[in-house]
Amino acid sequence: MEANINTQDAGSKKPSILGMITSPVEQFERMKNSTAVWGAFWILSLLSGITGGLGAYVYSLTPESIKLNQELGVNVTPVMTFGVGFVFGVLGMIIGFFISAAVYKVLMMLMSNDTSYKKLLTITVYSSIVSLLGVLINAVLALILGGSGKEFYTGLGPIFASSGGAVKGIANSIEVFTIWGFVITWLGLQITAGLSKKKATILMVIFFILTIGFGALRGLVQ
């Protein structure tokens, strides 16, 4: 009886953004019966904008950015810098939400899973709080420590700071919040989307390998 009451209670409530950090399993249970997504969608998009604005401001304080502005003969105010970062942060997150959900939808179809696109969008949106939190914390640390905003203090990047190229890029990809985000998504694919543990694990391993691969390419470019 008590188990039934708890299940009904989870189904009658909307998922919580902060709850994704403290009790993700409960939030994914709520997503099974809840269609609430747009409130969290806009809140997290705005948070991404704030994070993007902060990151842009931090980078504008670096010697290379100051030198570039002097060479171009432009005077970019902090407000302008934050504003540009904010806009790109919001747009990037919105586009990322839709593309990620579309990718998951294609993968679900290949696995003969009929989870709706909106349900996958809900999983994607709420799960993003973890990665956003990581980016925000790293941006604040960069501001305090005088970094460029490109560092990932919560990962292996600082340990391989003297390295360059692919090694540094891979090290930056192996980061606490990135791994945490994969675990959260892994739970969501099982609980809300109904994937088996094996299939969800395979997907997350593939995405993790791709993340490391893109990290290596980013390191080579930088």
Looking at residue 205, its amino acid is V
> 12 falls in which pLDDT band (50, 70, 90)?
low
Return the pLDDT at 86: 97
DSSP state of 159: G
What span, in angstroms and rounded, lies between the C-alpha atoms of 172 and 170? 5
Domain residue ranges of the chain, discontinuous segments joined by + = 24-221
Q: Residues with Cβ < 8 Å from 56, sequence gap 6 or more?
A: 81, 82, 84, 85, 86, 88, 149
pLDDT in tens, 80-118: 999 999 999 999 999 999 999 999 999 999 999 999 999
Return the pLDDT at 222: 65
Inter-CA distances, 166 with 135, 138, 160, 163, 208, Å: 21, 21, 11, 9, 16
Q: What is the mean pLDDT of residues 34-47?
A: 94
Do residues 136 and 54 lie in contact, with contact meaning Cβ atoms separated by under 8 Å? yes
